[in-house]
Copies of this chain bind each other. A is one copy, B any other.
Amino acid sequence: MTKDPVIILAEPQLGENIGATARAMLNFGLTELRIAAPRDGWPNPAAEPLSAGAFEAGVSVTTYDSVEAACADLGYLVAATARPRGMEKPVTNASGAVDLIAQQASSVGVMFGNEAQGLSNDHVALCDAIMTYPVNKAFASLNLSQAVIVFAHAWGEAAGQEGRFEGAQAGVSDVASREALFGMFEHFEYELERAGYFHPPDKTPLMTRNLRNAFIRGQWTTQEVRTFRGAVKALAIGRGKARIKRDD
């Protein structure tokens, strides 16, 4: 897999957003942050609280005098913008940008504009591709660190596709065998029968089927079948404090 992309903030304003960006990056394993011409200078004490320790935990920050300088050594650049701009560049979404980046042999940067205006057309023009999110047109302005985490998450998703979700359960593990389920049904229905539940008797098949359907849909495990049979037994026989007694 390609080297992790660098995140470039073009002329950011608030230290808070720089801190939150560092946190968002590290959440998905990105560690190189470049800040081009930050309005309030750097370091900025406002960044620390919102970073949640990301700077100490691995995010490196380098400052540059200009956007151009911040991306001088990179081989491929993606501009994050709210709209496609009508420039002749590939326009894609977050996962599409990840795909583009993954195809590069050179080092890659993803550039985000500042809080007030986003990226200027001149900054976008420096880039190879445009990444844009399907935002609500009536409320389109994302917070800067939110824009970064959407990309970082897409990167983490892709980077993790190999083995990252290993051991995650796609479904239920250890699903009970039909045999175990049938045993449970018969036990339950036997006790219901004894308790006089099936009434009128000619509705028994329908009631039984409905109950079985509901249980089967849950894909119960062997352990859950055991647990439920214990519950049925307890209710039917009674034990401990309730001391329900049968008189038959």
Contacts and interface: CB of A to CB of B under 8 A. Distances in A.
A195 B146 contact: no
Given A218-B215, A242-B248, A143 B28 contact: no
Interface residues of A, number: 91
Given A23-B143, A194-B241, A241-B194, A172 B134 contact: no
Contacts of A196: 234, 238-243
Contact of A135 (B27, B57, B150, B214): B27
Interface in A22-52: 23-24, 26-29, 50, 52
A113 interface: no
Contacts of A239: 195-197
A90 B27 contact: no
A103 interface: no
A25 to B, nearest CB: 9
B245 A227 contact: no
Given A84-B168, A146-B149, A195-B237, 7 more contacts: A84-B169, A150-B153, A197-B231, A199-B240, A214-B220, A217-B220, A235-B235
What 7 A-B pairs come out closest when comparing CB atoms?
A196-B240, A218-B218, A197-B234, A134-B160, A235-B235, A214-B224, A217-B218
5 contacts: A27-B136, A88-B169, A134-B157, A195-B244, A197-B240
